Every structure is written in C-alpha cells, then in structure tokens.
Structure 1
Amino acid sequence: MKMRDEYFNKKNFFSLLLFLFVILGITGFSMKQSKKESSVKITHGNIIFEVNSALHTRISSSFPDSKTVMDKFQASENITIDNRVISNFELKKVQESTLDGKLSGREWLAKGIFEEDGLKLVKNLKLTAYDDFPNLISVEVKYVNASKEDVFIDGWINGNYQILPQGDQPPFWAFQGSSSSSRSDWIKPLEPGYYQKNYMGMNDSDYGGGIPVTSVWRPDLNIAVGHLSLVPELVNLPTEMLKDSKVVIGVSNDFAHRTLFKAQDTITTLETFVSVSKGDYFENLAKYSELMQEKGIKMVKPEEAAFEPIWCAWGYGREFTMEEVVNTLPKVKELGIDWAVLDDGFQVAEGDWEPASDRFPEGEDAIKKLVERIHGYGLKAKIWWTPLAADPGSKALEQNPQMIIKKENGAPQFITWWDAYYLSPTKEETVKHTKDILDLFLNQWDFDGLKMDGQHLNAVAPDHTLENPEEAPKGLPDFFHMIYNEARKIKPNAVVENCPCGTCMSYYNMASTNQTVSSDPLSSWQIRHKGKTYKALVPQTAYYGDHVELSDNGSDFASSFGIGAVLGTKFTVPSSSENEEAEKFLLTERKEEVWKKWFTLYNDKMLSKEEYIGNLYDIGYDKPETHVIKKQDRLYYAFYADFWEGKIEFRGLENNTEYRIVDYFNKVNLEHVKASQPFLDVNFKEFILLEAVPVGK
C-alpha cells in the first residue's frame, strides 16, 4: 500500500509539473521557450504585434488578402554600446495595464536583461495600443546601465523592420519625409540597392527638417514607422532595399558624439510607432497626424481668403518696376484672381526690409501707394519675405550680431541661397526683430498676407551660442507660431503662407500656417503627390499649387485643380522696360483664353475647400493615377496619364444610386454608372476631369 501511495504521489507531482509547464508556456512567461515563439501577442485592429523571449518582435496583419510581412522575429529595438550592437535580452517579466484619460488604451511593459563580459543592461520595452487609433502600436524603450562601470553609447534604433516583398513590379513604393538639396520626390518606387538616410536635421547648408514618417507599401499592405515627439528631433528614418527586394526601415538616433552612459543611469528612446493600412501612404499619414494632434500639436483654423486664387509679380523677377506691377493689376482682376503678391526684390537686403531706392525712389510712401492701388482693384495684397535670414553687413546684424546661429567651431551658420546668415529662432533679439518687420508689413504698409519663402525655413542647425544648442531646431515651430499669432493680431484675417522651397515641409511648421504650397515643384507629379500629403496631414489647409508656370509645360492647371489646390500664376503683360525674365511669361492672346477658362472654373467649383478622399486609389499601383474630391452629394474625379485608352473605375459611389458622368472641363455628358457597375471606357491625354452627379439632381 505504501509503495502504491508513493507511486501515485510521484505521478501527481509530475502531472502537476507538466500542467504548470503548459500554463507557463501558454501565458508566455517561460524563460526557456524558443526565441521563435511569442511571449506577448497584441492584436489591435488589423495589426498583430508579437514579442518573443529575446525581446525581438514580429509584425503581421489581419487585413483581408494581406500576405506575410516578416518571415521571423527581428531585433527591431536595439542599442549600440562601445561599437557593439546589443539586441538579445532575456525576457524576465511582462506587465499589462490600462491607460485612462484622453488617450485611453492598453499598455504592456516587457523587461529583459543582457549580461555578458561585465556589461549588464536592463531593457524596458513599453508598448501602447491607443483605443482611438487601431492598427497602430507605439514603442518606447528605457535602457538601464546595471553594470558597475560606465560605458559609451553610439546610438539606438527602434522599429528596425525588414519587410518581405511579394514579387510585384515595383515591389515597393515609399513615402519618405526628409528634405535634401536635390528636391527629390517625396513618393517614389524602390529598387534593389536603394538607400536613403532620411536625416531630420540639416542635410545641407540650407536644407533640413521634414515629416518624421516613413511609409512603404506593396499592393496588399502599407507599413509605416515614425516618432511621436511634439518637437523636431535630430534622428534618421533610413529606408533601404536589399538585393532580394526586402525593404528595411526604422527610426534611429546615431549620436554625433559618443555619449557617456554612467553606471545605474537610464537612457530613454523617443516614442516611436508602427502602423499598417491598406492602400498607399495616405491613411497611415492621416492617422499619424490625428494622433499627434491628440497629443498636443494644434493646427490653426482655415482662412477663407487663403482659398482665393493668386497672381504673383515674380514673373518680372527681382528687376521688376512699379509700372510693370501696376499695369498688370487690371488683367489680374479681369481673370477672376483675388490676390496680388509683391515678390523678392523690393528690399534693401535680407534682414533690412526697407524699400530699395532704385525700385522705390519715394521710399515707404511708394510701397503704401502700391498697396492702395491693389486694394483699389478689389484685390488683396501679399508681401514676400524670408525670415531668419540676414545679409552680412546688414543693419540688422550690425545692431544685433548675437542673432546669428553659430557652429561648434564658432563660425556663422550660412544660408547659401541667400548669401546670408541664419538667425537663431529662440533668441529674444530675433523675436523682436521679427515682430518689428510684421508691424512694418501688415500695419504700416497695410499688406493683407505674408509669403514666407526659402528652403532654410524648414529647419535650423543647432546654435552653439546657446547652453543647449538643440534648443534652436526644437524651438523653430514656436517661432513660426509667434509669427502667425502676431500677424493675426494685426490683421485678423491675414493669410500666412509658408513656402519652404522644394523641401518636404516640416510637420511641426504646418501647425502655424493657413496656406501650404507645393513650393517650387519640379513637375506636375510633385504638385499632385505633395497635395495628397498635405491633405492627409492637414485636411483643412488651403493647399496652393504654386505658379502654374512651374508645372509640366508651364500650363498644367489640371494637376492643381484635380487635387483640390488653389490656382496661381505669375504671368506678365507687355512693358516698356527691357525685362528678359518677363518675356518668358507673357500672357499671349491664346494663353489668356486658357487662363481665363481655368480661373473661371476654379471660382465656380471651389474644390480646394472640399473634402479630399485620399484612401480610394493607390497613387503608386492604380492606373491611371486618380484623385477624388467630395462636394455635397457629388464626386469629382481627376484621372492622369500621358495617354489612356480603356476602362476607368469610379470608386466611392453610394450604393443604390445611379450617377451621370460629366466631363465638366469640356462640357460633355458621358454615360451613367453605379456602384455595382462602376466602369467606363474613355480615352484621354494627360488628364480628364469628371463629375459624378446623382441622377435626378
């Protein structure tokens, strides 16, 4: 009997051990489980985020028809210490908690340990799923130096994912939010061997900043990463396509100098995120902006006057005369344009904004009279200005030399394009100098709006005259917010345009402008995809397509019109002066007929104020390229291709509603369509603009 009892006690004991082992395995807290298995699994909307026992991660999607994203767990969050990448941590504990308040949700904290050769690190991986933002997981990591000795950090990276292709050509498209002197496309197809660092600081003497998001997509799925800091950060968002067409993305901080990591100290990464969506980059970018606004970014309200069409005197160049500008105003009014812009060339120098004597021999009185003439035609007046720039030898710098940003070696930070010095945006002297200029332009001279211009506006370099040099780039958005508030205090309906020539505009600067712009586009393609980007991030903004003369063939109004952009031009009229620049943009009789048609159509439809529906068509894979604007119960479709002959599809139609299709540019009625039969055969060159009107209305 005793032997039998001992047998059953042993059997029960081993059964209990087996039971505990199974339970521990299921709940994910077995320290001996395979690194291939999931210890934490979060499903939030259609994103599935897993963490294994080495604190490696894996992303997958539950969207219908979406294919494998990663074939294995990856060391997506790691730190480099003493030139050694530390990526394998032994999972010790996972805690889950609830987030209450405005940004409610769930939070997971996974703690892991790395210990080897006297180095001991604790990794605390915090994962957050916000209730109102499905398909997105935010990631923040705290590293603790639990060693007895100090070490040096070289950098860290979050969201370092290697994503599988699916064999399509091209296998990936990408949105990359950085800026460079090449003024390259923000959206492009990727090829094997491609690499772009996407540094968010200064990339050249004049260029830097941008949107801290990278979004890559295949026909079945889009994956985006970025950071959620409320100020600009000097980090990278590198994009690389390997030889096997896998794409590598991430958010990395490569320290400019090796940083001492003292024993028992903690270093915290930025809060980064990964999100998934169907289609192109539009939804992921929109989701990012909505979350940033929930976290504290405040976008300004739209201004009615910002949607009105624009004429700019830049067609006459810097050597314009008063006569040329004044003589153009009647034609501006006749074409249905509401704004006249006095552009570069009126000033003594960058920094010294008094009127140049050769252009305005009567001084400030001549400027005031010009504004009176503009207002006399019922037009609004805008003035060109390049803040944060002052020429060497200018009075502004003679009086306040401390405004200049200085490099680490003590040399002034130079703006190559303007042959000027950068001004530090957080210094009191710079702020006062800027407020005085605003009073001059909007109060004393009576202009109605500002055209702030220059690629250097997008970011500034660290200012080494400050105790914390990064105070300058991080404080830049506050500088522009000051300009916006001061301008609107003087003129409550002032239009404040920010035109950071050719750059991918800093997301943080978007919060203090009520008119964004395609900003010196190199092609019509740039006008359209920049428009889609702005409408994802700031859907209420007045997006200005810039001078139509910068589009393909210098006359592609359709690209601005179909994307819902404000129309603008810099045409010139015959003049007695010998101005070779102005000859390029003369409004001939034929051009006037075309210009009149487009501006009349723009004022009739005013699609720039309406809702852009950005998730219906994939700008990379869907052909022809298509954009849609909804105005009440009507849908406006813009199709683009060099040449198209075949079917087009009308997405977004209401069920059980029949629509008549109108080519409203050519005033031609086409066939009827409905959601169950949304196709139509057409042929066109360059563009076709179609209106879907519910039958009976």
Structure 2
Amino acid sequence: MRPIGRRTVLKLVAGSVAGGAAWLMLPKALAASRSGTANVAGGPGATAGDAVLAIAFDRRLHTRLVVRGKPLTPWQPSESLLLADGAVDDFVITGHRERPIADARHGNGHQAIVTGRSGQLEKEVALTFFDDLPGFAVLQTRYRNLGSTAVQVAGWRNAAHELAEAPGGFWSFSGTTHTDRRDWVQPMAAGFDQRNTLAMDSSDYGGGTPVANIWRRDIGLAVGHVEPVVRPLDLPVRKTAGGAHIAVESVQASTLAPGQTLVTERTFLAVHTGDHFAPLLQYRQYMQAEGLEAPRAPESAFAPVWCAWGYGRDFTVKQVLDTLPKARELGFGWVVMDDGWQTNEGDWRIDKRKFPRGEADMRDFTAKIRAEGMHPRLWIAPLAADPGSDVLHDHPDMLLLDKDGGFQKITWWNALTQCPAYQPTVDFYVALVKKVIGDWGFEGIKFDGQHLNAVAPCYNPAHKHAHPSDSVEGLATFWQAIHRAAHEANPRAVVELCPCGTAFDFHNLPATDQYPASDPTSSWQVRSKGKSMKALMGSLSSYAGDHVELSDRGDDFASTVGIGAIPSTKFTWPKDTEHPSEPLPPGGLVLTAEKEALWRKWVALYKQHMLPKGEYLGTLYDIGFDRPEAHAIAKDGAMYYAFYADQFKGKVPLRGLGAGRYKVRDLFNDVDLGEVDASEANLPVAFRHFVLLQATPLGTPA
C-alpha cells in the first residue's frame, strides 16, 4: 500500500473546529464522528486508554500516565502551545467525548477527544488507541483562536512527560542525526540533554527515524510522530534533577489569526518494558499499515561483502582483480568497487586512466567478477556535484538553494547538494542507475554519503516548488524512483543505502535492500544500531556490520555475526596500498596469515548458521541494563545467544527457551558446554570480549 502524502509542516485551518472541514486532514481514525457521551465543565476530568496505558486529564488539561492501573507520572502539562513569551499550559476542561472506531489501516480501537479553554484559545486533544497496539497512543492537538486578535505562535509541544528517578538511572534511544556521529543508544548521566532535531543538524547531516525513548529498569516511555512523510520536529530528551524528561516539539513560528486553527502532527506516546526495541516494533507496525515498510531483501543481500575501499581512491583495477580469488576463497560473495572509479562526483563518468576503453572495460570488469562466482557492486554518491564538474556547469538548475540563494555543502567531498525533488535531478540519476545495472552489469549499488539521509528546504526558483519543504519530503520519493529503476534493470539487484554516520531516516526504508552499520565508530555502534534496525526493518532484512576493520580491535566479527548481521571487510592482499585515502590503522589493512585464519573462520560460521534469516528476539534482553550485553535469535528450532563484555565470568541467563532440556555449544571455540533445563537456564561461562552459544533441544542434531 502506498503512503498517504499529506501537505504542510504546520497546519493552519480557517473555520470552526467543530466543523468537518477542520478534521479532513486528519487520519480516518481521527476524523470519526464526534457524537457520544460528553463530560462537560464541572466534571472531574477525563481518562482515555487501553488495558496497558491510560492518560488521565485533570481540570487544567494536565495529564498523568497510568500503567496497568498504577500511576506512573505526576500531573504535568503534556500538551502546550508555545508563544514567544512562554507556554500556554493551563486550559479549563470543557468537554470529553469518546467512541469506538474502525480504521481501514489500523483496525478497531477507540478515540477520546478532550476539550478545554484558556482565554481566547480553545484546545482539543484527540487520543486514539488501537486494539493491535496495546500501550501505544496516537495523539494530535488542535488550537483555535476564538478571539479578535492574532496570536504569535512559536511552536507547540506534545507528549511531554517526566519519569521519576529509579535505581540504576536511565538509558535513552535517539533516532535523530547528530553531526558528531554519537551513539544512538546512550546512558543518561547527569546533565544529559539532547535536542534531537529531525531537521538538519548541519549542512549535510540531518533527518532520522522519528522516535525517541527513555527507560528505567522497570519501564520506559517512547514518543515520536507517525506522519507518512518527513517532518522536521524535535524530540528533546534530558536528565532532570528528579528523573528524565521527554517530549515532541515543533519550533516553527506562525501567526494564528482570529478564527484559525493550528493542528499538530500526528504524534505518539508508548509505554513499554525493556529497552527501545519494543516501541520501535510498534512504530514499525503502525507505519507498515501506513504503507511504509522495508522490501524483502534479495537472496544475494545475505552474501558476505568484500569492499575495495581498503585500496582507497587511487586503487588500480589490477589490485582489485588480483584480490578476487582470495576474497572468494574466504567465502565473500560481493565485490564492491568504491570511490575512485569516476572522474568526479556529479558527472559519474568512468575514469579512463583506470578503464582506458571506458564502458567496454567496465563491462569486462563486472564479467570477471561474475566469473569468480561473485556479485559486482558499484559505489555512487548521488545528489553531489563537485566544483568543476560538467553537471554543475551545464545544469546549475539542479542545485538545492537556501532562502538566501546559498548552496548546501557536502563536507566530505566539498561538493554541492542537488535537489531530490526536481524532476531533471531524478531523471539524471534514474538514467545513471539503469546504465550501471542494465548496461555495465553491476548487480548492486552502494549509495554512500551523510547527505543522503536528509536535505534542507529548497528555495531554488527554477524548481517551482509548491513549498520549500518539497525537497525535504521529496527525498524519500527520489529513493523510490532509484530503487524502482535498479529493480527494473535487474529484479535481483541490491540497493544499499549507507548514509555515513547518520541515524537512518525511516521514510527512506521502502527503497533500501540493505542497510549497513554506516561507518560505526565502535563495536557497540555495530550492535546497538543493529538491534535498532532489526526492529525497524523486520525479519529477513539485510543489515550489514560494515567493514570489520572499523570495529573494536579491527577484527570484531563477533559483533556482526552474533546479532544476525552480514559480515563485511575491506582487507587488502597481498599488501597494503602505497596511496591510502585515509591513514592506515596500526598493522595496516593487509590480510596477514593470522587474519586470514580468523576471517575464514568467521565467514564459515556465518554461512553455516545464517542468523540473519532467523528471528531476532529483541525483547528478551535489555541492551542498557542487562550485563553482560546479550542478543538472542531463534532459527531452525535452535536458539542462538551472543554475549558481550570486556571480561566476564559467571552465569548468563538463556531466555526464550521452550520447555525441556537443551544442549549448549560454544560455536566459536567449538566446545560443548553441557545441558540446561528451560525452567532454570542459567549457564556458567567465562569469556573475553564475546561468547556465541547455540542451544538445541536434546535429540536434535547441531
């Protein structure tokens, strides 16, 4: 089902709030008739919820959260209109209506609308609960100016709640991008404060998955928006003196004229136990019904990846071809030709110093890769135009411009951003993809660059955008056109999207066959990003650990294989390049005899068990609080466990086992560790860095 496209970042509606016209831009669930029993002014307030989560309103329209009948938070002004000189927090409750709903996309549920008044402002909060999403509330607020003077609005705030401090403190997940490439999953120490904007964090870093989460050992809160297109909202999270605070905010200023209504985006609030995996699952379930979901990955997307980036931009074709037999021998299935095959970013012409016969040599190159039984993949950084490129000279109209006519710079290549919502730009890259896949013979493309995750609003007058945000929303549509072109040229093509160091933008997911750890700065990022993406992409998705050389110690395949990710490497052989594009790590990237034995062992283990094709059970362990860190996968009747710590000696709990007894094997060391009973599955282990276990029911061959 295709996503519903809906215009406007900030919705201002003229006319009566009670009129049907004001509700037309809401989802069907929120546009339901508002007939039903009402609790009006003078009553005790209102409550709406399901068996897991209830949201209670007092007479000021402050709320408190109640979980399974027990209060979780104090009374707080959770929905506010932000003005230049402060926030309008207090509204006198005037009404409450509730009725069952049946939504074509999300199923049965019920909705409550609570109304209040503060001076010339009327406020309505619509809360929708669906039977298939317990503990997940869709929340939208409307403010109507009933007065005779305009109100200067600075923004709005929804789902603002503070959880009280508890032993062990808090952990957080942020789906938004930060230029410093910080961890998505972090403990909340004293002073922790992240604005978490979904807008641009800098010229080429922005966007993300619109979810933020805070959790204690016993419970957590997640918030975000559920719009089917990108929205530049903020998801601020901060540590407070008494606990941790979370919210959804818009900082877009506007004037609310008399009679006008401001309608916020559809936001959500979810309560959960465990870490961020559970609310991300619910978010994915909701968005899947909206028409946004990952495509089923082609079979080749699970093959281990060797990338020629170890040789840098100044690689030679001979270096790459000479490495193929070794990569194939070790079990790698993909060969990625990275940056350096092209004359520049923008023109995407073949560098004839490396391929003298141009396209004929490129076809010969891919044929030689296939002759080794491997799949060729090509690196491209679209939407980037280098100074001096012909495309920049001949088609400056493609550029994305800010409101002052300035360029958007891409820092890594010192290039300029092109607008993804301008049809000539789309056509240019669609034609390039069809040539790469359909003519040159590549079976996949690696789209690379932090600028590919999100773009700024475009004010280029040549584009005739209906609104500058066309570029922001149009990036996902650009990716869909690219993905469609690749699969029209080859139905089994693999489209890899690697938005370097950013937090993956969920709205680009339908056009992504494989997502890598995207330049991880640590093994923790490989694992924590992996857990997050498995919640968002679902089972049988292709998440790659990115070059193992970027992991701790440069050889931590355990952090990839143990979580069900695809191994990737950029080793060189038989020696390192003399012209690296980046400083080489200690010992270089060359495949020594010791490395070769380790690489071979891990790839064999990966191919023997193929954990990406199992079911990642992300709710069994809390990545923040459980020690040692643990991940679990169910596959072919067995349970697989990966535990991680610098050093550990003690018992580890094997959760998720069905009734009965199991034999447990240390897969990496190829050692039987004995038997456990599911009723008391605590296994004594001792390990350094990791242990990878397989538990099989007694009587089942390993």
Provide the TM-score with structure 2 as the length reference.
Answer: 0.91
Corresponding residue to 1:416 among 411, 416, 419:
411
Could you say if the C-alpha distance between residues 326 and 265 of structure 1 is closer, same or farther in structure 2, counting changes exceeding 3 Å? Answer: same
CA distance in 2, matches of 1:51, 1:607: 47
Give how far 1:41 is off: 1.8
Once the two structures are TM-superposed, the CA of residue 539 in structure 1 deviates from its matched residue by 1.3
What is the CA-CA distance between 1:32 and the residue it aligns to?
A: 4.3
Superposed CA deviations along residues 222-266 of structure 1, whole A, max 9, x for unmatched, are 11111111111011000111133x2111000011xx312111011
The 1:577–1:53 alpha-carbon spacing in structure 2 relative to 1, beyond 3 Å, is: closer
Match of 1:529, SS? helix
Cα distance, 1:548 vs. partner? 0.7
State the SS of the aligned residue for 2:485. helix
Stretches of 4+ aligned residues off by more than 3 angstroms: 27-33, 575-583
Alignment of 1:442-457 (within 5 A): 442-457=437-452
Alignment-derived partner of residue 529 in structure 2: 530
Partner of 1:543: 543
Paired residue for 2:593? 589
Q: Distance in 1 between matches of 2:655 and 2:245?
A: 32
* Cross-structure match for 1:29: 39
Which of the residues 240, 246, 249 maps onto 1:249? 246
Give 1:561's aligned residue: 561
Cα separation, 1, equivalents of 2:590 and 2:402: 45
SS at match of 1:603: helix
CA distance in structure 2 between the partners assigned to 1:92 and 1:580 by the alignment: 69
Helix, strand or coil: the match of 1:563? Answer: coil
CA distance, structure 1, for counterparts of residue 577 and residue 94 of structure 2: 80
Matching of residues 308-457 of structure 1 within 5 Å: 308-457=303-452
8 A contact 2:457–2:468 mirrored in 1:
yes
- Please say if 1:652 is aligned against 2:639: no
Instruction: Pick one of 156, 169, 172 that aligns with 2:170.
Output: 172
Alignment partners' CA distance in 1, 2:148 and 2:398:
45
SS at match of 1:472: helix
1:200–1:234 contact (8 Å) kept in structure 2: yes
- Please tell me the residue identity of whatever aligns with 2:61: L
Please identify, of 78-87 and 500-509, the stretch whose mean Cα deviation from structure 2 is larger: 78-87
Amino acid at match of 2:646: D
Tell me how far 1:29 sits from its aligned partner: 3.5
- Is 1:59 the counterpart of 2:58? The answer is no
Indicate the residue corresponding to 1:205 in structure 2. 203
Aligned match of 1:10: none
Distance 1:140 1:680, change over 3 A: same
What is the distance in 2 between the residues matched to 1:345 and 1:30?
A: 69
Percent identical across equivalent pairs? Answer: 40
Q: In the TM superposition, what is the alpha-carbon distance from 1:412 to its structure 2 partner?
A: 1.4
Separation (CA, whole Å) in 1 of partners of 2:351 and 2:122: 63
**1:627, CA displacement in angstroms?**
0.3
The alpha-carbon deviation at position 428 of structure 1 amounts to 0.9
- Render the CA deviation track for 1:626-681: whole Å, top value 9, x for unaligned: 000100210000010000011111110112x1000111111111121112111111
Q: Deviation of residue 580 (structure 1)?
A: 5.0
The amino acid that maps onto 2:65 is I
Where in structure 2 are the equivalents of 1:160-239 lying within 5 Å? 160-166=160-166, 168-169=167-168, 171-239=169-237
Give yes or no for contact 1:28–1:39 (8 Å, CA) kept in 2: no
Deviations 1:60-91 (A, max 9, x none): 2128xxx8531x21110010234231111111
SS in 2 for 1:353: coil
Equivalent-residue separation in structure 2 for 1:580 and 1:458 (angstroms): 27
In 2, the alpha carbon distance for the partners of 1:357 and 1:486 equals: 26
Does the 8 Å contact 1:193/1:243 carry over to 2?
no
Q: Is the 8 A contact 2:576 2:590 kept in 1?
A: no
Structure 1 residue matching 2:377: 3-state secondary structure: strand
Q: Which amino acid aligns with 1:362?
A: R
Among 614, 619, 635, which residue is 1:615 paired with? 619
- 2:268 pairs with 1:270: no
Distance 2:566 2:336 in 1: 15
The structural deviation recorded for 1:521 is 0.4
**Structure 2: distance between partners of 1:54 and 1:44:** 22
Q: How far, CA to CA, are the matches of 1:302 and 1:82 in structure 2?
A: 48
Is contact 1:236-1:253 (8 Å) kept? yes
Whole-Å Cα distance in 1 between the matches of residues 578 and 650 of structure 2? 50
Cα offset, 1:576, TM superposition: 9.8
Displacement after TM superposition at 1:198 (Å): 0.4
CA distance in 1, matches of 2:423, 2:479: 14
In structure 2, relative to structure 1, the CA distance for the partners of 1:309 and 1:80 (3 Å cut) is: same
* Equivalent-residue separation in structure 1 for 2:172 and 2:84 (angstroms): 33
Aligned to 1:86: 88
Residue matched to 1:488: 487
Amino acid at match of 1:528: R
Matched, 1:693 2:688: no
CA distance in 2, matches of 1:483, 1:330: 32
Q: Pick the aligned partner of 1:624 from 622, 628, 632.
A: 628
Letter paired with 1:186 = W
Aligned match of 2:72: 69
Are 1:669 and 2:677 counterparts? no
Shift of 1:410: 0.7
Distance in 2, Cα, partners of 1:296 & 1:364: 39
Residues in 1 aligned to 2:671 and 2:566: alpha-carbon distance in whole angstroms: 24
Contact 1:382 1:450 (C-alpha < 8 Å) held by counterparts:
yes
One-letter identity of the residue aligned with 2:490: K
1:82 and 1:153 in contact (8 A); partners too: yes
CA drift of 1:205 comes to 1.5
* d(CA) in 2 for partners of 1:529, 1:82: 39
Post-superposition shift, 1:49?
1.3
Change (3 A) 1:575 1:84: closer
| Secondary structure of 2:348 counterpart | strand
- Shift of residue 543 of structure 1? 0.5
1:166-202, Cα deviation, whole Å (9 max, x unpaired): 1x23x10000111111100000000122111000011
- Give SS of 2:251's match: strand
- How far the C-alpha of 1:45 sits from its partner, in A, is 2.9
Partner-residue secondary structure (3-state), 2:693: strand
Question: Is the partner of 1:233 in helix, strand or coil?
Answer: coil
- Answer whether contact 1:663 1:689 (CA < 8 A) is retained: yes
Q: Residue 354 of structure 1 contacts residue 364 of structure 1 at CA under 8 Å; is this kept in 2?
A: no
Shift of residue 687, structure 1, vs aligned partner: 0.4
Q: Aligned to 2:283, which of 262, 284, 288?
A: 288
The more displaced of 335-344 and 674-683 is: 674-683
SS in 2 for 1:482: helix
Q: Can you give the 5+ residue segments of structure 2 that lack an aligned partner in the other structure? A: 1-36
User: Secondary structure at the residue paired with 1:349?
Assistant: coil
| 2:514 aligned residue | 515
Is the counterpart of residue 683 in structure 1 residue 680 in structure 2? no
Shift of 1:467: 3.8
Match of 1:19 in 2: none
Deviation at 1:440, TM superposition (A): 2.0
How far, CA to CA, are the matches of 2:681 and 2:574 in structure 1?
Answer: 49
Alignment-derived partner of residue 505 in structure 2: 506
Q: 1:93 to 1:576 in 2, by over 3 A?
A: closer
Q: CA deviation at 1:578?
A: 3.3
Q: Name the counterpart of 2:23.
A: none
Per the TM alignment, residue 579 of structure 1 is displaced from its structure 2 partner at its CA by 3.7
Q: What is aligned with 1:643?
A: 647
Q: In the aligned structure 2, how far is the partner of 1:263 from the partner of 1:690?
A: 66
Paired residue secondary structure (1:212):
strand
Q: Give distance in 2, aligned partners of 1:382 and 1:268.
A: 46
